[in-house]
Structure 1
Amino acid sequence: MAVAGSAIGLANIWRFPYLVGKNGGAAFILVYIFFLALIGFPVLVAEIAIGRKTLLNPSGALRKLGGPLWSSGGKLMILTGFLVSSFYSVVAGWILGYFIEALQGNVSNFTSTIEAQNTFLSLIASPYWGLCFHFLFLLFCAAVLYLGVREGIEKGTKIMMPILFVVLILLVIKGISLDNSSDAITFLLSPDWSVLTKGAILAALGQAFFTLSLGQGTMITYGSYLSKKESIIKTCIPVILMDLVVSLLAAVAVFTIAFSVGIQPDSGPGLIFHTLPWVFSQLSGGYLIAVAFFLLVLLAAMTSEISALEPLIAYLCDEKGFSRHKAVMWAATGAFITGIPSALSYGILKNWTIDSMPILDFMDYLCSSILIPIGGLLAVAFVGWRWKVSNAIQEIKVGSLESFEKHRWLTPYFKISFQFGAPIFIILILMNALGLFG
């Protein structure tokens, strides 16, 4: 549940629906599933295996198996997770703020998308609103982390994940009951390959990688908590399936709700804060739908934020001798301070840009498009060429021998994926992010 909670976040409930709407519906989904099997699953298994073999944080794990030079790669992953947590908590703070606004009935009474957009822009321009919810969101996440791995992360995700699924299913049921829901289902189930462009294929490739929280040291850290008795294969397959199911259910919920008022949810990042609040305002029971939706997104954001901070906490405990409580306080405080420029990037710092991007947008681009793919590439390159595939597969077989004996194709599948498939596709993601494909 903890690993699934890490994988299930804004990429599933926010990013996936608008990518589907923008890139051809069912055709995009099928390509996404193909890449999830081709790149997402093997990289997830690789990172979990590194962590369980060493029982250490990413820096210590790569140093133990590969030497001091590789330890720097582990530190880069930890830094990436920390930077992600700093700006992710800003956006998640907006969601927390909108959840409070929804409870007060302020997110289901808009007369136009322009009114919804102006409300959002006025809220994020307020330094007090942005900083306050940035702080409160991090405080809630730090409280879970402060309790420890078992009492905090495990128990927290065991509570939050079932609630997330229940709320999502209720939204799906409500969406299917609305007018024009059959049109939305048809769009999601009937592929039109003629609208699948090169850009859509690259977007599906990137989504398959980013949705699993890879390249940030998170899965290596969670793998270090996994018992040798547990099967890595049987641990990772449910994570992939839950991640996929949540993405598909979120698409069904968002599309059926949007189609009921005659719009298609392809409006990009403005979907949550511009388009859907207006949609909720047009629906019977819009108040309850708005509250449920923002609760759903908030829970997904919390589980992902917790996982992004955990590698740094593990590093401070393993390498610097910090107690867990001290490490949590340092990590959360650092994330809050580092995230302040992002929280103010649409207000008093709106004229401060980096490469023509607001600070928060630049942080998102830096991490999602550059650092995370580099971290994932380091992980599979380490497994495929430094630690060696044979040693990695030997570790994966511990607790999973029955799966390998039953499915003989697993060994060549992992060999090809670790050494060639995953590295090549991650390099394609990096090249696309750098604009080399136009």
Structure 2
Amino acid sequence: MERENWTSRLGFILAASGSAIGLGNIWRFPFVTGTNGGAIFILIYLAAITLLGYPILVSEMSLGRTTAKNPIGAFKKIAPNTGWPLVGALGVLSGFVILSYYSVVAGWGMSYIFKSLTFTANNNFPQLFEQHIGSLVQPIFWHGVFMLLTVVVIGAGIVNGIQKLVKYLMPILFIIIILLIFRSLTLNGAARGLSFYLKPDFSEITLQTFADAISQAFFTLSLGMGAMITYGSYLNKKESITESAVYVIIFDTLVALLAGFAIFPAVFSFGFDPASGPGLTFITLPAVFTKMPFGNFFSLIFFVLLTIAALTSSISMLEVVVAFLVDEYSWSRKKASYLVGLLIFLVGIPPLLGYSKLATINFLGMNLLDSYDWITNTIFLPAGGILTAIFVGHIWGSKQAAIEANQNSRLKIGLIYEILLKYIVPLAVLAIMLISIWKTLS
């Protein structure tokens, strides 16, 4: 079976950026920023995404293109008859587990598109959200709808599915977010939100700030889950990996920062708490929107934005598992997409029920959805990133990876990339990973 390729560099950049841009930017980044002191977190996050994220991103893309394989096949091709393909298997597992609960949260966002039409200032938004996630039928229905959309796109293929979709969705995403920013910045009291967002307070720095910044960098760039290895495997030799990776990071970071500009001025304008955690999106923001002129309209387009961003990421996570089955077992793309999609939907039921029927079950003091999130973001993704850095840096060879990445590129990487990849990235990520585990267990 002939392997598909992206038809252009722009197609690849939009698809890879779409993989990176998702709930991590619109849902996760604002509340993590809010709970970590605002501007100071952003500075540390930018350092993490540049010094740790970029080398791994380039490495994963290079590994994918040089092997033209899925994550497991890529490690197997370079290091046959060793245990290294297990690192690829960890990536496939990570994408599978993350998508199972990611789809649940995306389903909440989809349901709020329609709920937005009836929002009023009299709504009790904490109660409204608790009623939604605590019910049985609604969350399952929207989880299923979102997974079905994801499956349909992946089943259509790389060019006719992923590339065609992101070509339209990514520009729409930017238009919506700019519209929201314009409205947010014109509110009375918006300056207080801008100060929180742009003026660093160094007294807010803790070890948790660094841990959350690195975790956010991995989550938002889809690192450690095999997505960028898979997308890189469809990239032809004429395209520049080093330049494409820069564009992906720029687009991803830009959307996250723009989301902050849309959210924090509005939150401060109406006197809400920026450190309200995950509920910032589903409790605080709807309350903010109802206080604005044309609030229902802006609420509607915000949750459309959230859903678009979630979909461009979910398709990359499903593609990781589908590519493995197509490559290694010669499954048809449609068969792999629909069967894996159904299985992921079923695995997402327990965390979905963690707010209702399974609310009494917890792990390390967390409900099931938070447990899925903690395991993947604190253990799976960092471990995948560390082992990929070690593999590319020491087994395949950082020089060989640099040669692959530098093909047809005006932006050349060399010694600094090799030092970061071989020593700085594994040690820094391992240290933060162990600290995060210790803090949770202690």
The answer to whether TM tops 0.5 is yes
Range of TM-score over shorter length: over 0.9
What are the Cα deviations for residues 272-321 of structure 1, in whole angstroms up to 9, with x where unaligned?
A: 11111111121211101100110111111111111111111000000011
Secondary structure in 2 aligned to 1:354?
A: coil
Q: State the distance in 2 between where 1:31 and 1:302 align.
A: 28
Matches within 5 A, 1:247-286: 247-286=256-295
Shifted more, 317-326 versus 28-37: the winner is 28-37
Residue of structure 1 aligned with 2:411, choices 389, 394, 403 = 403
Q: What is the match of residue 10 of structure 2?
A: none
Q: State the distance in 1 between where 2:31 and 2:420 align.
A: 29
Letter in 2 for 1:411: G
Matched residue count? 427
Q: Contact (CA 8 Å) 1:254, 1:265: kept in 2 or not?
A: no
Q: Contact (CA 8 Å) 1:111, 1:278: kept in 2 or not?
A: no
Q: State the distance in 2 between where 1:343 and 1:198 align.
A: 31
Shifted more, 428-437 versus 33-42: the winner is 428-437
Q: State the distance in 1 between where 2:122 and 2:263 align.
A: 19
Q: What is the match of residue 28 of structure 2?
A: 15
Q: Contact (CA 8 Å) 1:45, 1:236: kept in 2 or not?
A: yes
Q: What is the match of residue 109 of structure 2?
A: 95
Matches within 5 A, 1:42-81: 42-68=55-81, 69-81=83-95
Residue of structure 2 aligned with 1:342, choices 334, 344, 351 = 351
What are the Cα deviations for residues 380-415 of structure 1, in whole angstroms up to 9, with x where unaligned?
A: 111011111111111112122x322xxxxx311111
Shifted more, 195-204 versus 54-63: the winner is 195-204
Residue of structure 2 aligned with 1:373, choices 382, 386, 390 = 382
Q: State the distance in 2 between where 1:65 and 1:316 align.
A: 19
Q: Contact (CA 8 Å) 2:190, 2:265: kept in 1 or not?
A: yes
Aligned-CA RMSD value: 1.4
Unmatched tracts of structure 2, length 5 or more: 1-13
Give the TM-score taking structure 2 as reference length: 0.94
What are the Cα deviations for residues 50-93 of structure 1, in whole angstroms up to 9, with x where unaligned?
A: 00000000000000012232112111110111111111111111
Q: What is the match of residue 201 of structure 1?
A: 210
Q: What is the match of residue 153 of structure 1?
A: 162
Q: State the distance in 1 between where 2:16 and 2:172 align.
A: 16
Give the TM-score taking structure 1 as reference length: 0.94
Q: Contact (CA 8 Å) 1:17, 1:266: kept in 2 or not?
A: no
Secondary structure in 1 aligned to 2:419?
A: helix
Q: State the distance in 1 between where 2:367 and 2:207 align.
A: 28
Taking structure 1 as reference, are residues 354 and 186 closer, same or farther at Cα in structure 2, changes over 3 Å only?
Answer: closer
Q: State the distance in 2 between where 1:435 and 1:289 align.
A: 42
In the TM superposition, residue 173 of structure 1 has moved relative to its aligned partner by 0.6
In the TM superposition, residue 183 of structure 1 has moved relative to its aligned partner by 2.2
Q: What is the match of residue 11 of structure 2?
A: none
In the TM superposition, residue 436 of structure 1 has moved relative to its aligned partner by 4.9
Q: State the distance in 1 between where 2:198 and 2:367 align.
A: 37
Residue of structure 1 aligned with 2:100, choices 86, 98, 101 = 86
Letter in 2 for 1:376: G
Q: List structure 1 segments (4+ residues) > 6 angstroms apart after TM superposition.
A: none
Matches within 5 A, 1:4-403: 4-68=17-81, 69-102=83-116, 105-106=117-118, 108-111=119-122, 115-400=124-409, 402-403=410-411
What are the Cα deviations for residues 149-201 of structure 1, in whole angstroms up to 9, with x where unaligned?
A: 00000011111111111100100011111111222222222222222233223
